[in-house]
Structure 1
């Protein structure tokens, strides 16, 4: 059956099985489907399996077995592949490819013992004479009788060649018949003329003349001795010092047609070339255990072998010349000097690098890179191409661990030559990106890698970490493979036109290596970036942080703050129970956040001093968010306390305004003195105005623009490193602009003290109303703007509030004295309503200018412009005069 007929029959069956069309019921549809199928089948050309790819896979499998200490599997595989090569079959690559695809974890599932099932049956033992005699002993007496071989037989009559052999035997000399042989008859006579020529050629046996003490040799002999010397052999014309490698010309021999000084000069120059080559020949004998240095040794050995082939070709041209030509040692000198020029540069490079390789195993790569650039500058094209080819050969070995790290996220076992190592294999996934792997650094914090690779080291490092990160997320097939990477060799970097490139080699290599890195880096980073932004919900979590910590929804934050304040003011035991507060947060934030985000909110509380009325007590209530581990590699643990500090600061402003707004109006107007009533209204207005300005500054000027910029930069970031850096800068800026950094601590403490004045004001008006006989001091009647005088220095210490550190302990707050006093403490030790109002006024008038001046100072000293804006807001309604009461 022809091929077309077979395809047609199979196509008919395929169409009927898939479409259920029948030529009897639906002929038109059946014909259309068959035509489509035939067109596809006939137009498709199936390519053969790539046998080199199959061989590479088998070599990789062998290497994997040996790395995992399964040499028995590796040896068994190698033995059978060798046996398979003896059987010619064009489908061998397809069969091996099929077996590779069908293999399932051969290291764990394969056992060498199972191969005994396929072993051929053991052959029987060879039959011995002892067994034969034991079964059938020779008992016939006729068997051992002598035979007369001279007797005639019928065989002599039928074989005529027997007679010819007999006649030849008779013609042989009698010596052969007597078993004696003359060996001299087998030796060919020697031509004594050739012996004399050989003796003449051995010039080293010639005695020196008595008058000159020299031996005259021919120029051909000089050329021969020189070529031998260049190959590293011992010669009579040159002496080699085995320890130093120096080569000297023997002054005993001269040429008849040149002066000795000229001959000695040319031969000395050739000896210098031989000296460089001799040292280079001795270096590969010191075998190294580092693969990088072994590759360099192999490259040097290969160049020496190429040069030896050139010398052998030169020797052949003198031994078997195709046509007569003059022999000239000067011509040999010029040709050898030109041919050995790149090799001599390599010899000097090896001499300089050899002592450095014990400390820096990739010193040869750095030196080669520098010499290539120098050769390009000095326009030495042959040296440029020669060293450039060696450089890229050695670089391929260094690229193997880089490729393994970037594609599989794996490091070599105890590979001290690679610049990445695993610092903590047992670290949590939440710190995988920052703590598990680190860059290896040497003296002076320099990266332990070739200096020309340092610009790309960060991308190499991040690509491998991205692959490992994706594996932890359950994504193992990232699509990164060696097949998709561009070539990185001398031809692809410098071109094939055998001319020096116009661009510097360092720039060409940097661009090519950047392309090589990007082929792996971009794919891994893009996959990981999309996973973090979409599946891990990074942007959603940032939005949740905006609502939870930064009051993006002011109404929701106000509800949560008011619920906490109500529980505080109730002064019930257990108001700060963390379970109740967590349920309260879940109920309030459920309307604005995703349910998964709400479940991650946790409110924690710590024990504080009993009945503490300062806004500092709000630091005992902290809100936390249970981050998933992938996001914790971007939003690190160190960032959460800063979010909580910002949340506490914002909550303190809400607390001050909450107390001021809940102050009873009747309490404000209960004083009989009109000045006290006016002062109460004034203080309440100023304190609310101050709290509103601080809150508006935080939410509108600091939180809003910074968070929007963060979201924009996160979507544009290329990897986790850049995302983490963006977030860390955002946190640092947030802390700085929110006045929470250490250098702005005095200003922040002054603001907290001003907010504490609101607590003092609320406590004054919520206590017993002032007595009816409370009167305004006489000095206030005479001068309403006059300031009251304090009673004594001692009472002054007890009522004037000062700035208290937020980090101070409860025990420190309980102390007395000027540095430990607070507005609420001052109120508790004061019995006069008017004195308390004047104390609040004094503190407000002293602390507010301090805050304004401090903000302007740090802003003009290179700080944030927003501080100047806040200072302007706080000063625009500065009071011109003061109300003073007794």
Structure 2
């Protein structure tokens, strides 16, 4: 309420300053003005000024002044901007922004000379003794006159009046304010001084090298504590070149055996040597943040260790109760208290040569040493190294946190395992090409080994945020209200005094997965929902199934029949891409609707020869314009496989289309009984073969694989998993549809069988309609014509895997071709006899190729454990055996 009242008062003051009239004279106008002002102020959102934009603006102004030859103005502006930036204040960007907005053609209206008016006046010069003496010199006679310190002064008069006013007792100070300076001097105890000098054993001068100096155990304790703290001591010698510490053997104990004492001191020197090397390593700082954090953690542990040594010194210097001085007891205390830091010192010594190559090797080594300490039940070492590990891990988590929260990478951060490979890559390949994982030798991921199980999830989270930024929906509900869980020793290992039962790697992975889930789930969920709802991923997959995989058989049949009709008309432009595109859009519109049907583009490869065989259908393929977010899932490499499957389906449709045009009634009209039986048999076998193939492709391959893919796609968490599912789906389609490279011989044999159907249809059309002109007769391909010139129908001259073509007889406009065919055959046979032999050749070629296909499918089916191939081989083999019994 106080805030609203304050805003109302300020609004009234603003209206008074602008309107300049009394509200009591015109209440309606005043009320209207107040409503307008209140609405404007309430709706306005005051955002802070962007300080970087302000700095950029001033930099641009300075460059502009120099370009316009106003260096004086640019220099003045630069000096004052730097001066104001040195001052601290949160409103400085607003002040600078206000100055920018108030500026009016500074190059024309600005005068640098006017700045002198703003310069504050110079302070007066400092007064010196020379100036004082010049104005009021003193004489030498006056300066040496004695002063009467005992004379009465105004102070004395005041003191006397005060004494008269109050009768007080005289104090000792009033009686005599002088004192003896010798009373402040403390006399030196000669015995204490002598004892102190005798305790300085290091000042003793030895007469010869073999002479020893006897010291007390308390002195040895003090020297040992000095040595462990990194200070100079006489009992231990420090070799700075080799970074080693050894015992000075010229000092001995009078109450202990020399060898025993030397052994004890040598063990303490070993501890001090490791600590000294650790202290020396700290003095060589690194420039890498990760190593700097590790150095700070080590320095912190050294400070704690020094405090422990200081407490021991205090125990011996100022004991609260009488204690026994024992170097052996000190050794036990030092060995117990130094065990964790000695383990850390050994770790630093081992990894020091590798830090320049692998800046996070200390994290990996700490992780391994923590696991080892847990297995050996060293609780103090486990807690000590665990705390160091989590302190160092926080620095490595900073780029991970920035990547997973904002999708940003640090500038030239070589320690992070994600880097931008191609910033100019197309958005259609953003997910797969723009960012990659940093890898080292042997393709190993450049990250700590304990983080590698979660590396892909971290990688995908950042890419999801970049993806959302490209979609323009970044920031919409992405800020998780759930606080970030802590990742430290207390959270992961607990605060119990006992060793945790679960292995440390499992504890860490569980805590780290919890830490990641707070950042991963939001971005991936929002992106996944957008792809499904806004981009229509499932709808696009359904369109692909309709276009390429014959999901709607009737529409695909209409499209195939339209293409076959244009092929059979014999026109050279039957595969014109513009006409085929319009044809495809018109046919597929009922299934896809007009908007999506307009994305269909039919492309074709022009061929000089009019190819009527099934391979010619491979020159026609369908494209579909995908939105760029979907192209990151349905990648470009998958489109040719879709087109191969579509072509294979068109080829099977083509054979069924041609063979069905050979009606049983036209075969029944054949006068030759043998030829009629062969034609019935071949027609039935070709239809049976193509029906089984179409059924296999549609039901066993496409439907089952698509159903599994849809189920897996709905469960996918991110684009990476979606793209992987789709690529596996496409690879499975290619493999089961017999289109993969290792099944190429089997596919080639199937295509040859399909080409037999084309040859049979053309042969029957040529025999049944001899009166048609070549313009109305189905056009033979160049392959058929060339084969007709060289084929011989005698069994001895047939070549293996050659599909014979039928020579067109009784044609009025192909006499030259007939003559060439007669020359190739040796002698011209009667029409009926030639047709009978040609159909018999086709029948035998079919009987040769089919066993090869079935045997190959059974073989690869057993090797690859693919039951679909064996099922297809069994169906073809069973029908073949049944047909052989029926027609045998």
The TM-score bracket by the shorter chain reads 0.7 to 0.9
Q: CA offset at residue 278 of structure 1?
A: 0.8
Structure 2 residue aligned with 1:420: 418
Contiguous gaps of at least 5 residues in structure 2:
10-47, 61-77, 107-111, 160-172, 772-790, 806-828
SS at match of 2:592: coil
Q: How many angstroms does 1:161 deviate by?
A: 4.5
2:449 to 428, 448, 451: 451
Choose the corresponding residue for 1:256, options 247, 254, 258: 254
Pairwise CA distance, 1:465: 1.1
> Taking structure 1 as reference, are residues 144 and 400 closer, same or farther at Cα in structure 2, changes over 3 Å only?
closer
Residue matched to 2:741: 742
Post-superposition shift, 1:211? 12
Tell me if structure 1 keeps the 8 A contact 2:482–2:518. no
Question: Which of residues 369, 389, 392 in structure 1 aligns to 2:390?
Answer: 392
Q: 1:876 aligns with which of 875, 878, 886?
A: 878
Measured after TM superposition, the shift of residue 608 of structure 1 is: 2.0
The alignment partner of 2:622 has SS state of strand
Q: 1:516 to 1:594 in 2, by over 3 A?
A: farther
Q: Using a 3 Å threshold, how does the CA distance of structure 1 residues 736 and 7 change in structure 2: closer, same or farther?
A: closer
Report the CA distance shift for 1:105/1:484 in structure 2 as closer, same or farther (over 3 A).
farther
Deviation for aligned residue 1:533: 1.4
Distance 2:352 2:793 in 1: 88
Q: How far is the alpha carbon of 1:731 from its aligned partner? A: 0.8
Determine the structure 2 residue equivalent to 1:696. 695
**In the alignment, which residue of structure 2 is the partner of 1:780?**
none
Residue 774 (structure 2) aligns with? none
Shifted more, 664-673 versus 435-444: the winner is 664-673
Provide, for residues 259-318 of structure 1, a one-character-per-residue CA deviation record: whole Å limited to 9, x for no partner.
Answer: 222322222221111111111111111221111111111111111111112222222333
1:762-777 pair list within 5 angstroms = 762-769=761-768
1:344 and 2:349 aligned? no
Q: Offset of 1:835 from its aligned partner? A: 2.1
Tell me the residue number matched to 1:305.
Answer: 303
1:126 equivalenced with 2:123 (yes/no)? yes
Equivalent in 453, 463, 466 of residue 464 of structure 2: 466
Following superposition of structure 1 onto structure 2, how do residues 411-560 of structure 1 map, counting pairs within 5 Å? 411-477=409-475, 479-480=478-479, 484-560=483-559
TM-score of the two chains, using structure 2 as the length reference: 0.76
1:159 is aligned to 2:161: no
Q: CA deviation at 1:319?
A: 2.7
SS in 2 for 1:767: helix
- Look up the SS of the partner of 1:235 in the other structure: coil
Corresponding residue for residue 372 of structure 1: 370
The aligned counterpart of 2:570 is: 571
Q: Whole-Å Cα distance in 2 between the matches of residues 172 and 692 of structure 1?
A: 132
Per the alignment, in what secondary structure is the counterpart of residue 473 of structure 2? coil
TM-score, normalising length: structure 1:
0.76
Q: 1:363 to 1:580 in 2, by over 3 A?
A: same
User: Equivalent residues in 2 for 1:79-98 (5 A)?
Assistant: 80-81=87-88
- Deviation, 1:708, is 1.1
* Residue-by-residue CA offset, 1:474-500 (whole Å, 9 max, x unaligned): 122162569732110000000011221
Q: Are the counterparts in 2 of residues 240 and 246 from structure 1 also a CA contact under 8 Å?
A: yes
What residue in structure 1 maps to residue 852 of structure 2? Answer: 850
Distance 1:591 1:324, change over 3 A: same
Partner residue, 2:72: none
Shift of 1:771: 8.9
Q: Which residue of the partner structure matches residue 332 of structure 1?
A: 330
Q: Which secondary structure does the structure 2 equivalent of 1:624 belong to? A: strand
SS of the residue 2:879 aligns to = coil
Q: Tell me the distance in 1 between the aligned counterparts of 2:245 and 2:741.
A: 73
> Structure 2 vs 1, CA of residues 200 and 147 (structure 1 numbering), >3 Å: closer, same or farther?
closer
Residue 216 and residue 433 in structure 1: after superposition, are their counterparts in 2 closer, same or farther (change >3 A)?
same
Deviation by residue 1:377-414 (Cα, 9 ceiling, x = unmatched): 11111111001100111111111111111111112222
Q: Match of 1:758?
A: 757
Aligned mates of 2:355, 2:139 — CA distance in 1: 84
Q: Aligned partners of 1:880, 1:298: CA distance in 2, in Å?
A: 87
Whether the 8 Å contact between 1:670 and 1:770 is mirrored in structure 2 is no
Is 1:600–2:599 an aligned residue pair?
yes
SS in structure 2 of the partner of residue 613 of structure 1: coil
Q: Distance in 1 between matches of 2:211 and 2:601?
A: 105
User: Once the two structures are superposed, what CA deviation does each residue of 1:354-392 show, in whole Å capped at 9, x if it has no partner?
Assistant: 112122111111111111111111111111100110011
1:584 matched residue in structure 2: 583
- For the residues of structure 1 that align with 2:124 and 2:802, how far apart are their CA atoms? 121
How many residue pairs are counted as aligned between the two chains? Answer: 753
The SS at the match of 2:864 is coil
Residue 242 (structure 1) aligns with: 240
Task: Map 1:83-232 to 2 at 5 A.
Answer: 123-128=120-125, 159-161=154-156, 192-208=190-206, 213-232=211-230
Of 423-432 and 863-872, deviating more is 863-872
Distance of 2:355 and 2:451 partners within structure 1: 18
Q: CA deviation at 1:595?
A: 3.1
Contact 1:217 1:255 (C-alpha < 8 Å) held by counterparts: yes
Alpha-carbon contact 2:461-2:524 (below 8 Å) kept: yes
Task: State the secondary structure of the residue aligned to 1:498.
Answer: coil
Distance 1:76 1:745, change over 3 A: farther
Offset of 1:550 from its aligned partner?
0.7
Verify: 1:835 aligned to 2:837, yes or no. Answer: yes
> Deviation of residue 148 (structure 1)?
7.5
SS in structure 2 opposite 1:861?
A: helix
Do the aligned residues in 2 keep the contact of 1:237 with 1:253 (CA within 8 Å)? yes
Contact 1:601–1:626 (CA under 8 A) maintained in structure 2: yes
**In 2, distance between residues paired with 1:282 and 1:482?**
46
Q: 2:804 touches 2:842 (CA, 8 Å); kept in 1? A: no
- The whole-number CA distance in structure 2 between the counterparts of 1:427 and 1:266 is 68
Aligned residue for 1:247, secondary structure, equals strand
Distance 1:511 1:109, change over 3 A: farther
Q: Look up the match of 1:646.
A: 645
